[in-house]
Structure 1
């Protein structure tokens, strides 16, 4: 991925410095390994689902954490001694992982479920009433507290 020069934005936009940090975080996430594979689905107008293929992991070995606008999914396998199992072919990766996703404003994680080696994380964008567009009738007067 190419580096993006954001200096023109800084000259003409004030208060958008968080945009630069979001772009930087997204470029760092692109560089991380492709394990585990995942899908991002649009289930409805404001409903989303991330599905991750985490075969071999149990519920106790996976942790999901949301902090500010970052969703972090971590999988940790307990260490096992190498002599415990002998493989003729090992195609199922059981390595530890950490994958981060940047969430948009007002996106809330609703639920997580795991079945058949797939982790499903459901999310929804919930826009507060104060942020939704509202119509202003011509000739109406707003009171000091914002009520009509």
Structure 2
């Protein structure tokens, strides 16, 4: 689905941001389901935590899948025959299956998950590879540059073989 905003001018003047513009275009027209509710918490400079309210689900009924740049949390209620014998007057705790997707930035890794007090807690950490971290570049002195320049010859030697159709003073 196309958004009301045209990203074409930005696409022309940027390199490598195609995924970002695709996400903006695809997410603007879709209605997001709000079940189960969640909190996103920053626990450190490069640490994050997602807490999903999954009351009524057992750990074996939940599944967490981490793919490249996507975290998928899904829950499927098992068919229990004991629920058939219960006569509910009011049922306010949602008992439906769900699938929740989280778009992860580059270099975000899932470190683990745990169930506490009806919450599914997923710990995330950003691990930037050494090659992508900023590094300081030392600036050399003029003495180093002149030593490099002295090693390279300033004039080319005359060719030993004569060129055809060229005046003698050009050789």
TM-score, normalised via structure 2 length:
0.74
Deviation at 1:25, TM superposition (A): 4.7
Which residue does 1:111 correspond to in 2? 112
Which residue does 2:67 correspond to in 1? 67
1:53 aligns with 2:38: no
1:32-111 counterparts in 2 under 5 A?
32-80=32-80, 83-111=84-112
- Kindly provide the CA deviation profile for residues 66-124 of structure 1, in whole angstroms up to 9, marking residues without a partner as x: 11100000000023567432101111111100000000110100010001110000000
Q: Which has the higher strand share?
A: 1
Which residue does 1:134 correspond to in 2? 135
State which structure, 1 or 2, has the greater radius of gyration over its C-alpha atoms.
Answer: 2
TM-score, normalised via structure 1 length:
0.84
Gaps of 5+ in 2: 145-171
Which residue does 1:31 correspond to in 2? 31
Alpha-carbon distance in structure 1 between the residues aligned to 2:130 and 2:121: 28
Deviation at 1:127, TM superposition (A): 0.6
- Kindly provide the CA deviation profile for residues 33-71 of structure 1, in whole angstroms up to 9, marking residues without a partner as x: 111000000001110000000000001000000111000
Which residue does 2:17 correspond to in 1? 16
Alpha-carbon distance in structure 2 between the residues aligned to 1:25 and 1:43: 29
Corresponding pairs, count: 139
Question: Does the CA contact (< 8 Å) of 1:110 and 1:123 recur in 2?
Answer: yes
Alpha-carbon distance in structure 2 between the residues aligned to 1:131 and 1:19: 19
CA RMSD of aligned residues (A): 2.1
Query: Kindly tell me: are residues 43 and 84 of structure 1, through their superposed partners in 2, closer, same or farther at Cα, counting changes over 3 Å?
Result: same
Whose relative contact order is higher, 1 or 2, with alpha carbons under 8 Å and at least 6 apart? 1
Gaps of 5+ in 1: 142-148
